[in-house]
C-alpha cells in the first residue's frame, strides 16, 4: 500500500481518497466520497502498458517520430487519443469531418485513414510550415483526396463553411487549437455538425490546472469557463474523458 501523496496524482488525492496499490506499478484511489468507486491513476508504467495496446498504423508512427524532433511536438495528440478519435469516427460511420488545429497532421491523419474513400476531412491550420509536413504524410498515406486543407484562421474557415450552406452537414469535429477560442469554435461547430454528430474538445483538463484554484492565467480561465458552460449546455450530451490532457466528447442532441 502506498501513502496518499506519493505520486504524480497527489493533486487529486484528498483525505476523501485512500490510495491502495497491489503491485506498486499503479495507484487506485478509493473514493469514499462517491460511493467507494475505485479510480485508477495512470502512472508511467501503466501508460507504457496502455501504449503497448494501441494499434498505431505504421505511417502514424513515422509521422510521430519525425515530429518528435520538431518545435511544438508536445502539442501532438498521443497515440491512444488518436486511436479514440479514429474509433469514434468509425462508430459514427462518419463521412464528413472537421479538424481545428492540424499541426503536422497526426490526429487528422488518424481520422483520414479510417474515413471511407468518399469521406472528407476539412483540416484547419494557420501555420504553413507544419501544414507542409501534414500534406506530405497525407500523400504518403494515400489519403490526400479525403483531406481538404484550409490554411488560415480556423474561425474564419468555419464561418465560411456556414456561409457556404454547410450547416448541419458534418458528422464529426475535433478541436485542438487556440484555447481562448474554444467557446467560439464550439458554437460554430455546433452549427456545422448534424444532430447525432460529435464534437471532441481536446485539453479540457489543461495539465490539471483547471482544478487548481491557484492557477488563473487567461488560457486556464478560458478552458475552465468553457467546461462550466458545457455542463449547462442542454444542446449536447457530454463525457469528459481523462485521456491525454483530457478530452470532452459532445454528442449533439
> Which residues form the interface with ligand SAM (CB under 6 A)?
75-77, 101-104, 106-107, 124-127, 130, 153-154, 176-178
Distance in Å, CB of 173 to ligand SAM, minimum: 12
CB of 156 to ligand SAM, least distance (A): 8
User: Nearest approach, Cβ of 125 to ligand SAM (angstroms)?
Assistant: 5
The CB-of-107 to ligand SAM minimum distance in angstroms stands at 4
The nearer residue to ligand SAM, 171 or 176, going by C-beta atoms, is: 176
State in angstroms the smallest separation of the CB of 83 from ligand SAM. Answer: 12
Residue with smaller CB distance to ligand SAM, 29 or 134: 134
> Which CB sits closer to ligand SAM, 17 or 174?
174
CA distances from 233 to 180, 229, 237 (A): 18, 6, 8
Looking at the Cβ atoms of 18 and 136, the one nearer to ligand SAM is 136
Return d(Cα 172, Cα 94) in angstroms, integer. Answer: 7
Q: List the Cα angle 175/84/104 in 5-degree steps.
A: 50
Give the Cα separation of 47 and 140 in Å (integer). 29
Nearest residue to ligand SAM by CB is 101
Name which of 41 and 67 has its Cβ closer to ligand SAM: 67
Q: Which residues have C-beta within 8 Å of that of residue 176, sequence separation ≥ 6?
A: 75, 77, 99, 100, 101, 103, 107, 202, 203
Residue 19's SS3 state is strand
Cβ neighbours for 122, distance < 8 A, ≥ 6 positions apart: 97, 98, 99, 148, 150, 157, 161, 170
List beta partners, residue 167: none
Minimal distance, residue 68 CB to ligand SAM, in Å: 11
> Of 51 and 231, which has the nearer Cβ to ligand SAM?
51
Please enumerate, as own/partner, the contacts of 18-24 that have beta carbons within 8 Å and a separation of 24 or more: none
Q: Which of 223, 202, 197, 194 is nearest to 211 (CA)?
A: 223
Cell, residue 218:
487567461
Q: How far is the CB of 58 from ligand SAM (least distance, A)?
A: 17
Q: Which residues on neighbouring strands pair with residue 31, listed in sequence order? A: 17, 37
| CB nearer ligand SAM, residue 101 or residue 246 | 101
* Residue of 157, 160, 197 whose CA lies nearest to 177: 157
Amino acid at each position: 500500500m502506498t501513502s496518499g501523496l506519493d505520486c504524480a496524482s497527489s493533486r487529486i488525492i484528498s483525505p476523501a481518497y485512500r490510495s491502495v496499490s497491489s503491485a506498486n506499478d499503479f495507484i487506485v484511489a478509493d473514493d469514499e466520497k462517491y460511493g467507494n468507486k475505485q479510480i485508477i491513476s495512470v502512472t508511467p508504467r501503466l501508460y507504457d502498458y496502455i501504449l503497448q495496446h494501441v494499434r498505431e498504423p505504421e505511417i502514424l508512427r513515422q509521422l510521430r517520430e519525425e515530429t518528435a524532433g520538431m518545435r511544438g511536438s508536445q502539442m501532438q495528440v498521443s497515440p491512444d487519443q488518436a486511436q479514440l478519435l479514429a474509433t469514434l469516427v468509425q462508430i459514427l460511420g462518419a463521412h464528413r469531418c472537421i479538424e481545428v488545429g492540424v499541426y503536422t497532421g497526426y490526429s487528422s491523419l488518424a481520422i483520414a485513414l479510417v474515413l471511407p474513400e468518399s469521406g472528407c476531412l476539412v483540416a484547419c491550420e494557420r501555420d504553413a510550415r507544419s501544414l507542409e509536413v501534414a500534406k506530405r504524410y497525407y500523400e504518403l498515406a494515400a489519403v490526400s483526396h479525403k483531406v481538404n486543407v484550409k490554411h488560415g484562421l480556423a474561425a474564419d474557415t468555419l464561418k465560411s463553411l456556414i456561409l457556404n450552406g454547410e450547416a448541419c452537414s458534418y458528422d464529426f469535429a475535433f478541436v485542438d487549437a487556440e484555447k481562448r477560442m474554444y467557446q467560439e469554435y464550439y458554437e460554430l461547430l455546433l452549427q456545422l455538425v448534424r444532430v447525432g454528430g460529435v464534437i471532441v474538445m481536446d485539453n479540457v483538463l489543461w495539465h490539471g490546472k483547471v482544478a487548481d484554484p491557484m492557477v488563473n492565467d487567461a488560457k486556464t480561465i478560458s478552458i475552465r469557463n468553457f467546461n462550466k458552460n458545457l455542463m449547462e449546455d442542454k444542446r449536447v450530451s457530454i463525457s469528459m474523458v481523462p485521456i491525454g490532457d483530457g478530452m470532452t466528447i459532445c454528442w449533439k442532441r
